């Protein structure tokens, strides 16, 4: 048998071995819970179980923890079934599994943003499993591997984790295994507590076989974790958290608690080195509290996480209630020699001081304690120390007896050899330690005995001297005088103590004042930094938005030109259609004229024939008369005249017939021409109709290509309110089930910030202001509504509206004013206006003014005009218009009736009104109440939606929908909803061209074109969908879902086109620095080179970049994102900026300063410093060449 001295030393620190036997994990691809979870890989294994990365049926990553207590469990090679290692360990294995299940059920009830969430619990393969959220990111131990964490980050980390511990302790749960490896930092930078070890300690206590694995982590576990049966509580978790923060600050874990206890027990000093006063950059209160929480005696630590949190914000709060003097007069063993004496001194001389002020927060307390101790040293006697030592000796002898009995029992025991050896060695070590302690105590008692003898001898000598002194009265008088002087000295000492107490009070007050000032300055600095970062981000986003606007305006112009051209074609076609009808009518008229002419010609021909017959008869009569013997000359002349007249009339008729023939020919030519024109017009009309149909089809097709751009995941739990777009189209806001309001970037879907966390009230509606700078969170009746400053990322107003509706509050278009309702006394409601500027200043009182007052319960509708800050207030009794200074400009009785919704539309007086009956009325002037258009109601319509541009109106019932053009009053489109008996969610795009119908059990979600009613695209099971205000993005999802999708319309403007350099864009926030920091110099070490060729950028549309590249080399490559992104804050001081580089591969600098580009080995820029300037730096190298390089920034400030 090997002696304990021959065994290898135990590994210490955070990587200490936690088990001795291999576990044998489940293989990749193994499926659990009927295929719901598929194992991807092993994450970690410990003494109590194994944790896997798995994927569920929805493709989400989850962490699956398997109950596999090492030394108690084994796994079958083929079936992977888990069972006890033997019949003797079966009971212990079942105990461990039962505790695992109880732990999982307990954890499943926890709901906190900094605590991992348990999704499900199940039994399979002979053991138990729990599936938890997989926290994407890294653990704190990995986070500490690089540069030291900034002090502000450490303070935030402490506050977040203390909040989590405060919550779980309130639920009766202890973590028991806090260390850097069990704190995950998610992708948003939030710390999460994982891998709760609550079941381990209980299993260890119940099972002797639990000795085959360890449940403590050296450096982080408190001393009570090393002692069987020792009391554990919140103070134990606080020790482990303090050890973790100690490691974060110092770079190493503190000395393990068992080593500290051994050192103190052997009379050596505690090896722990306090950190208070050693790390000036960190919060002094935090350092002192860490030292306090790392004390060996639990009673001396902060009692709970709430007290620690309070001390971080209020230095006057007492954390530890000192134990009574009687309780601490007899310390246990020799753990802290002299502890009883020190506490006794404090109780006798300074109780009032110590009760009033914690020692770790009071300047000068050590000196005061020393003075008080010096005044009371005469109270110490060797008898007290001897009594304590004798008690310790008796306890050690009892311990020795127990250890010897345990050794005898183990030496006689049978069974598991490895466990027996381990227990036997531990018992022998305990026996040897107890024996050594007894020897030391006996030596000490012997020394005390010698000291007592010397004391007795000294006392006998003093008695002899006293007897001799009794003979001298003068000496007695002198002694009396000395006694009086000592009494006076005591009085003076008491006065000094009183003065010291007053001085302590003054120092306490000064300390409180200073800390309050520091807290205020820190808050101001934090807010200023937030504003500077927000200003920088806003400037960058504004530039991008301006570029997007330019592109959008160009596209809009082209669309308008195409629309105008098509409209002209349509008008021409309509005109041509009119011409065609006129031509056809003219042809008919010409044909009628031709027919009339033919009839007249026939009549003329008949008359000519009659004239010819008459002329022939007259000619014959003339011939007869001439042949007579005596012709009548008069009649003959008359006949000849009649013949001449007939001939003349015949000639005239023939002329008229010739003219009629000419007219007929002309008419026939005109008819032929008109028929040709009709044919051409018909062909043109057909072509125009075909072009219009093709254009409409192209427009529909252009709106039918939506691609998924990003997936948003609820930071905590699920989404209870799906994403809403801001009016400026920059951000997306959503609400999660933990009461958090989260902001995301619209273009990338990236997390931006939390506006709020843990709001206890349900949020039923979110609304952005016109510029996107503010957001209103609406809650149910009886709950306060909240107004947030998006840029400052904070709540600026909380108010209790009279009803839950967005119609009784409004933010002006220029975001300068906010009007809302607030309950007043006496059953009245005030309509209040406040300036946003007064709300933005932290701690300032809001500048409010009451516009008017109405009886409680009165329906109120409030709206700002579109182009001015005039406020319209509509009640059942009146319509009133106010200026922002509270002055009533106009008023009139309400002749409109009951109003459900009010919205400005066109100018300062135009409004759209939705009456309670469902009738839509447009007023040119609400005071004059002159109606421009009225759209009759439909009694069965219950849903109404106004488009973002306020030019279209969607209304629907459970079966049909229609969209109304508010300019003309015409119905632009209508169609069936076709979802059966289930009601679907509907929304309309900002331009009124598209509607979204949510999914039901019978139909998937889909988007329809309003004009044609055609289906543009399906969107699966999304129950709701919301359009962005520029009609290019769509948010879809379902309430209580863990994710939402952001879709982007193909071909939507994406910003400036830099050709091949489009990827050379900043996609992260820049580091804010002051220009004065350039004088001290800043350096950044990066990897030079990349995959983007500068040759592709040579014809970039950005003129500055193209000009810069024309002066440099093009056979270089760089990264997509800047190697360094800086925001130099504007301070109204001019400065020069120098950019240099050092690197073995001689990289070339390509930099963008504001809108200016430059390329070279060293660059120089100048700026007046009036505003924040972004600086992006890329290091370019030849293709395939990379090296480590250092970018240096320097400069001068005027």
* 186, 135 Cβ separation under 8 angstroms: yes
State residue 1059's pLDDT score. Answer: 41
What six digits make up the tokens of 892? Answer: 């009139």
pLDDT tens figures, 3-53? 333 333 333 333 332 333 344 789 999 999 999 999 999 988 877 789 999
Indicate which CATH number applies to the domain containing 1137: 2.60.120
Residue 122 sits in the same domain as residue 144: no
* pTM, to two decimals: 0.40
Domain end among 645, 670, 702: 702
Residue 155 sits in the same domain as residue 74: no
State residue 253's pLDDT score. Answer: 93
Greater confidence, 22 or 1013? 1013
Residue 130 sits in the same domain as residue 157: no
In a domain, 185, yes or no: yes
In a domain, 929, yes or no: no
Tell me which residue range forms the domain holding 144. 1-16+137-193+217-265+274-292+304-311
Mean pLDDT of 524-543: 52
Residue 96 sits in the same domain as residue 221: no
Q: What is 387-441 written as a DSSP string?
A: HHHHHHHHHHHHHHHHHHHHHHHHHH--S-HHHHHHHHHHHHHHHHHHHHHHHHH
Residue 589 sits in the same domain as residue 678: yes
Q: How far apart are CA 1157 and CA 118, in angstroms?
A: 52
Pairing of strands 848-855, 828-835: antiparallel
Alpha-carbon Rg for the chain, nearest whole angstrom, is 48
Largest CA distance in the chain: 228
Question: Would you place residue 524 in the very low, low, confident or very high pLDDT band (cuts 50, 70, 90)?
Answer: low
* 328, 339 Cβ separation under 8 angstroms: yes
Place of tokens 């732990």: 103
Indicate which CATH number applies to the domain containing 36: 3.30.200.20
In a domain, 554, yes or no: no
State residue 205's pLDDT score. Answer: 38
Whether 2 has a pLDDT exceeding 50, the answer reads: no
CA 1079 to chain centre: 36
State residue 806's pLDDT score. Answer: 54
Whether 1019 has a pLDDT exceeding 90, the answer reads: yes
Element (H, E) at 341: helix 339-349
Domain end among 135, 163, 178: 135
Task: Compute the mean pLDDT over every residue in the chain, rounded to the nearest whole number.
Answer: 74
Q: Among 856-865, 970-979, 1084-1093, 1113-1122, which stretch is predicted with the lowest mean pLDDT?
A: 1113-1122
pLDDT tens figures, 45-77? 877 789 999 999 988 999 999 999 877 889 988
Cα–Cα–Cα angle for 165, 170, 176, rounded to 5 degrees: 45
Place of tokens 């009892």: 398
Whether 246 has a pLDDT exceeding 90, the answer reads: yes
Domain end among 90, 112, 135: 135
Burial tier of 44 (Cβ tally within 10 Å: 0-12, 13-18, 19+): middle
In a domain, 814, yes or no: no
In a domain, 711, yes or no: no
Burial tier of 1031 (Cβ tally within 10 Å: 0-12, 13-18, 19+): buried
Strand, coil or helix: what is 450?
A: helix
State residue 580's pLDDT score. Answer: 61
Residue 142 sits in the same domain as residue 2: yes
Residue 173 sits in the same domain as residue 108: no
Give the residue from 319, 305, 287, 291 showing the smallest Cα distance to 234.
305
In a domain, 229, yes or no: yes
Indicate which CATH number applies to the domain containing 594: 1.10.287
Q: What is 764-811 written as a DSSP string?
A: -EEEE-TTSSEEEEE--TTS-EEEEETTTTEEEEEE--SSS-GGGEEE
Q: How far apart are CA 994 and CA 949, in angstroms?
A: 13
Residue 686 sits in the same domain as residue 573: yes
Mean pLDDT of 95-99: 88
Residue 104 sits in the same domain as residue 7: no
State residue 1007's pLDDT score. Answer: 94
Whether 389 has a pLDDT exceeding 80, the answer reads: no
Q: Among 280-289, 374-383, 634-643, which stretch is predicted with the lowest mean pLDDT?
A: 374-383
Which residues are within 8 A (CB) of 466 and not within 5 positions of it... i.e. 6 or more apart?
Answer: none
Instruction: List, in sequence order, every residue forming a beta bridge with 734; answer none if it has no partner.
Output: 742
Residue 231 sits in the same domain as residue 91: no
**Of the segments 347-351, 473-477, 1083-1087, which one has the largest average pLDDT value?**
1083-1087
Instruction: List, in sequence order, every residue forming a beta bridge with 244; answer none if it has no partner.
Output: none
Residue 568 sits in the same domain as residue 675: yes
State residue 53's pLDDT score. Answer: 95
Q: How far apart are CA 551 and CA 1060, in angstroms?
A: 18
Whether 652 has a pLDDT exceeding 50, the answer reads: yes
Q: Among 244-253, 304-313, 492-501, 1146-1155, which stretch is predicted with the lowest mean pLDDT?
A: 492-501
State residue 364's pLDDT score. Answer: 40
In a domain, 663, yes or no: yes
State residue 1165's pLDDT score. Answer: 92
**Of the segments 491-495, 576-580, 1085-1089, which one has the largest average pLDDT value?**
1085-1089
- Residues 81, 86, 91, 94, Cα dihedral to 10°: -10
Question: Would you place residue 343 in the very low, low, confident or very high pLDDT band (cuts 50, 70, 90)?
Answer: very low
Could you give phi then psi for residue 974, rounded to 5 degrees?
Answer: -155, 165
Q: How far apart are CA 598 and CA 592, in angstroms?
A: 10
Q: What is the 3-state secondary structure (H, E, C) of 170-233?
A: HCCCCCCCCCHHHEEEECCCCEEECCCCHHHHHHHHHCHHHHHECCCCCCCCCHHHCCCCCCCC
Q: How far apart are CA 977 and CA 940, in angstroms?
A: 14
Mean pLDDT of 292-316: 83
| Total of domains in the chain | 4
In a domain, 211, yes or no: no
Instruction: List, in sequence order, every residue forming a beta bridge with 776; answer none if it has no partner.
Output: 767, 787
Give the residue from 908, 914, 911 showing the smallest Cα distance to 869.
908
Residue 1064 sits in the same domain as residue 1186: yes
Place of tokens 């302690």: 437
pLDDT tens figures, 538-594? 454 455 445 544 444 444 444 444 444 445 555 555 555 555 666 666 667 666 766
Pairing of strands 1124-1129, 1071-1074: parallel
């Amino acid at each position: 048998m090997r002696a304990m001295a021959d065994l290898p030393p135990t590994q210490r620190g955070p990587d200490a071995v936690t088990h001795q036997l291999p576990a044998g994990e489940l293989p990749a691809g193994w499926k659990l819970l009927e295929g719901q979870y598929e194992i991807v890989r092993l994450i970690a294994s410990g003494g109590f179980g194994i944790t896997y990365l798995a994927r569920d049926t929805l493709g989400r990553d989850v962490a699956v923890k398997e109950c596999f207590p090492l030394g108690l469990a084994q796994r079958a090679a083929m079936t992977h079934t888990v069972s006890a290692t033997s019949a003797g360990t079966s009971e212990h294995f079942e105990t461990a599994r039962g505790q695992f299940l109880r732990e999982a059920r307990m954890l499943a009830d926890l709901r906190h943003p900094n605590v991992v969430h348990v999704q499900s619990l199940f039994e399979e393969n002979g053991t138990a499993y729990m599936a938890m959220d997989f926290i994407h990111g890294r653990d704190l131990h990995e986070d500490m591997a690089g540069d030291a964490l900034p002090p502000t980050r450490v303070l935030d980390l402490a506050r977040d984790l203390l909040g989590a511990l405060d919550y779980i302790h309130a639920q009766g749960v202890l973590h028991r295994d806090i260390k850097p490896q069990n704190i995950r930092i998610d992708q948003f930078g939030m710390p999460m507590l994982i891998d709760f070890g609550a079941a381990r300690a209980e299993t260890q206590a119940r099972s002797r076989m639990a000795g085959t694995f360890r449940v403590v982590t050296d450096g982080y576990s408190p001393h009570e974790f090393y002692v069987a049966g020792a009391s554990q509580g919140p103070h134990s978790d606080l020790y482990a958290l303090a050890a973790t923060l100690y490691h974060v600050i110092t770079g190493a874990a503190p000395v393990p608690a068992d080593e500290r206890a051994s050192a103190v027990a052997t009379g050596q000093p505690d090896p722990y080195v306090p950190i208070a006063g050693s790390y000036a950059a960190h919060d002094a209160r935090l350092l002192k509290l860490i030292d306090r929480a790392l004390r060996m005696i639990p009673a001396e630590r902060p009692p709970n996480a709430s007290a620690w949190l309070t001390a971080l914000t209020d230095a006057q709060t007492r954390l530890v209630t000192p134990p009574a003097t009687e309780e601490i007069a007899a310390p246990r063993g020799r753990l802290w020699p002299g502890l009883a004496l020190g506490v006794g001194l404090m109780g006798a001389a300074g109780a009032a001081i110590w009760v009033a002020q914690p020692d770790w927060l009071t300047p000068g307390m050590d000196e005061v304690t020393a003075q008080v101790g010096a005044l009371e040293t005469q109270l110490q006697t060797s008898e007290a120390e001897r009594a304590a030592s004798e008690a310790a000796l008796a306890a050690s002898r009892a311990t020795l007896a127990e250890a010897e009995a345990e050794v005898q029992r183990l030496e006689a025991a049978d069974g598991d050899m490895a466990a027996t050896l381990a227990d036997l060695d531990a018992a022998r070590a305990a026996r040897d330690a107890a024996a050594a302690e007894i020897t030391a105590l006996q030596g000490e008692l012997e020394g005390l005995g010698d000291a007592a003898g010397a004391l007795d001898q000294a006392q006998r000598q003093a008695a002899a001297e006293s007897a001799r002194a009794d003979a001298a009265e003068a000496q007695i008088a002198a002694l009396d005088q000395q006694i009086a002087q000592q009494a006076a000295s005591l009085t003076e000492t008491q006065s000094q103590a009183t003065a010291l107490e007053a001085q302590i009070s003054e120092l306490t007050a000064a300390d409180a004042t200073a800390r309050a000032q520091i807290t205020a300055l820190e808050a101001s600095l934090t807010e200023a930094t937030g504003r500077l970062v927000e200003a920088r981000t806003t400037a960058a986003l504004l530039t991008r938005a301006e570029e997007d606007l330019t592109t959008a305006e160009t596209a809009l112009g082209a669309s308008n030109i195409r629309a105008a051209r098509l409209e002209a074609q349509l008008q021409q076609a309509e005109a041509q259609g009119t011409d065609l009808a006129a031509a056809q009518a003219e042809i008919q008229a010409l044909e009628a004229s031709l027919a009339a002419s033919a009839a007249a010609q026939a009549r003329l021909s008949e008359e000519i024939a009659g004239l010819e017959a008459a002329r022939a008869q007259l000619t014959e009569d003339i011939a007869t008369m001439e042949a007579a013997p005596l012709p009548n000359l008069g009649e003959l002349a008359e006949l000849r005249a009649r013949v001449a007249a007939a001939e003349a009339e015949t000639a005239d008729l023939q002329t008229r017939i010739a003219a009629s023939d000419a007219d007929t020919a002309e008419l026939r030519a005109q008819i032929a021409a008109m028929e040709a024109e009709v044919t051409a017009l018909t062909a043109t009309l057909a072509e125009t109709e075909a072009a219009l149909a093709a254009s409409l089809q192209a427009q529909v097709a252009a709106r039918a290509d939506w691609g998924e751009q990003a997936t948003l995941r609820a930071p905590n739990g699920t989404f209870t309110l799906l994403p809403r777009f801001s009016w400026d189209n920059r951000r997306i806001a959503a609400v999660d089930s933990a009461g958090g309001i989260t902001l995301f970037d619209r273009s990338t879907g990236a997390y931006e910030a939390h506006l709020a966390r843990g709001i206890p009230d349900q949020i039923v509606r979110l609304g952005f202001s016109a510029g996107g700078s503010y957001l209103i969170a609406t809650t149910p009746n009886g709950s306060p509504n909240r107004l947030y400053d998006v840029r400052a990322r904070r709540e600026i107003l909380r108010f209790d509206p009279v009803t839950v509706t967005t119609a009784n509050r409004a933010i002006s278009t220029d975001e300068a004013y906010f009007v809302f309702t607030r309950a007043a006394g006496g059953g009245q409601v005030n309509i209040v206006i406040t300036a946003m500027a007064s709300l933005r200043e932290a701690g300032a009182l809001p500048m409010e003014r009451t516009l008017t007052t109405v009886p409680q319960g009165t329906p109120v509708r409030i709206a700002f005009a579109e182009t001015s800050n005039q406020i319209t207030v509509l009640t059942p009794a009146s319509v009133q218009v106010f200026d922002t200074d509270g002055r009533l400009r106009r008023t009139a009785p309400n002749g409109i009736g009951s109003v459900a919704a009010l919205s400005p539309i066109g100018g300062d007086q135009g409004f759209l009104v939705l009456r309670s009956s469902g009738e839509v009325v447009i007023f040119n002037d609400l005071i004059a109440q002159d109606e421009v258009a009225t759209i009759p109601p439909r009694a069965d319509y219950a849903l109404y939606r106004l488009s973002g541009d306020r030019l279209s109106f969607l209304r629907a019932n459970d079966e049909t929908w229609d969209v109304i053009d508010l300019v003309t009053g015409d119905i632009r489109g209508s169609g069936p909803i076709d979802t059966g008996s289930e009601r679907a969610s509907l929304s309309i795009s900002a331009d009124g061209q598209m509607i979204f119908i949510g999914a039901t059990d019978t139909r998937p979600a889909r988007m329809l074109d309003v004009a044609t009613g055609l289906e543009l695209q399906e969107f699966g099971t999304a129950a709701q969908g919301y359009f962005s205000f520029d009609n290019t993005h769509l948010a879809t999802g379902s309430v209580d879902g863990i994710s939402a999708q952001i879709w982007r319309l193909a071909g939507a403007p994406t910003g400036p086109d830099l050709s091949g350099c489009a990827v050379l864009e900043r996609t992260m926030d820049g580091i804010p620095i002051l220009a004065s920091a350039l004088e001290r110099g800043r350096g950044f070490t990066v990897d030079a080179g990349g995959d983007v060729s500068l040759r592709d950028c040579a014809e970039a549309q950005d003129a500055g970049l193209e000009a810069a590249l024309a002066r440099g080399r093009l056979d270089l490559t760089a990264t997509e994102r800047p190697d360094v992104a800086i925001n130099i804050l504007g301070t109204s001081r001019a400065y020069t900026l120098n950019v240099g580089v050092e690197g073995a591969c001689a990289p070339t600098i390509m930099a963008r300063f504001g809108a200016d580009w430059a390329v070279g080995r060293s660059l120089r820029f100048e700026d007046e410093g009036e505003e924040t300037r972004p600086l992006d730096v890329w290091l370019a190298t030849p293709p395939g060449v990379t090296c480590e390089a250092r970018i240096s920034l320097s400069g001068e400030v005027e």
